[in-house]
Structure formats: C-alpha cells, structure tokens
C-alpha cells in the first residue's frame, strides 16, 4: 500500500510543479507522460501473485508456450467464422504472438500495463481539463486495481 501512496504523492508533486503554476499544453503533456510511466512501472513491476487472477494468467501464459500458433489461429477462425465455443481466443492469440518477442511473464505484465495505461493517458490528455485530478481519481477510487486483476478485461478496455 505504501507504493500506491508514494505514487499518489508523486502525482501531486508533478501536478504542482507542472500544472499549477502557469500550465501550458506542453506541461500537460509532460505530466501525462510522467504519470503514465509511473503507473506502467507500478503495474509492470508487481509480483506475479498480485491481483486476484494473476496466478491463473501466469499458468495459462506458461501453458501457451506448448501450444502452436497454428492451433491458436484455428481457435480464432473457428470462433469467428463457425461460431465455435471458445473463451477469449483473441487473448490466447495475443499471448502466443507476444511469446515470439519474449517468453518472460514479467515482460508480458509490462506489455499489458503499457497498452492499458497509454490508452487511458491519451484519453485523459485529450479530454480532461485537469489531468492531475483525473489520475488522482483513478488512483484513490481503486480503479487502478482493475488493471492488475484481469489481463483480458484490461486489454479489452484499452
């Protein structure tokens, strides 16, 4: 919990430095970049056991190493074209494709964090008049825990 409080304190610090004294568009951009990097690091560096479903995702990530890309493509094809029953075949395909880059689960956690946080940051930058407040609300209302509990749902919202 201390790490999350430190993150909020850093968000307030960067908000004070960059946004509360003569805010400019460039300062807003820098604040959003710094806030995004903080959240990506926080989410990507977490232990593999943090999050309700993370252990299950770790197990499926490791099992995916022994599944062929052809099998994953076939599952997606059957689901999309023939309406076959499958649980999120696109997620399995994404994991398999990622494993061609790295088979390290921690790297995958960084990837999931980056996809979600960057998408959210772009939205905040474009739509929020007060990006610091937006990131603080995201932090204190525990929406941040959503992005560490379910990889499939997190990627779907991004």
pLDDT at 148: 63
pLDDT at 158: 55
> Where do the structural domains in the chain lie, given as residue ranges?
2-65+103-157
For 70-90, how does the pLDDT look when each residue is reduced to its tens digit (9 = 90+)?
999 998 888 888 777 777 778
Stretches where the chain sits below pLDDT 70 are 142-153, 156-158
For 128-142, how does the pLDDT look when each residue is reduced to its tens digit (9 = 90+)?
999 999 999 998 886
pLDDT at 16: 96
Q: Judge if pTM exceeds 0.75.
A: yes
Question: Are 153 and 53 a contacting pair, CB within 8 Å?
Answer: no
pLDDT at 19: 94
Per-residue tokens: 7: 């993150």
* CB under 8 A, 24+ apart: contacts of 91-100: 91/151, 91/152, 91/155, 92/60, 92/64, 92/67, 94/155, 95/60, 95/61, 95/64, 96/64, 96/67, 96/69, 96/72, 97/69, 99/61, 99/64, 99/65
């Amino acid at each position: 919990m201390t790490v999350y409080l430190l993150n909020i304190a850093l968000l307030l610090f960067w908000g004070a430095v960059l946004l509360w004294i003569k805010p400019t568009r460039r300062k807003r951009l820098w604040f959003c970049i710094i806030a995004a990097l903080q959240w990506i690091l926080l989410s990507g560096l977490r232990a593999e056991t943090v999050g309700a479903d993370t252990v299950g995702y770790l197990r499926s990530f490791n099992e995916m190493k022994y599944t062929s890309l052809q099998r994953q493509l076939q599952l997606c094809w059957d689901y999309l074209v023939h309406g076959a029953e499958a649980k999120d075949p696109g997620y399995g395909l994404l994991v398999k494709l990622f494993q061609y880059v790295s088979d390290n689960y921690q790297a995958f956690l960084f990837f999931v964090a980056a996809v979600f946080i960057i998408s959210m940051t772009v939205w905040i930058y474009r739509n929020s008049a007060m990006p610091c407040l937006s990131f603080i609300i995201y932090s204190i209302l525990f929406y941040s825990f959503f992005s560490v509990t379910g990889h499939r749902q997190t990627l779907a919202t991004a």
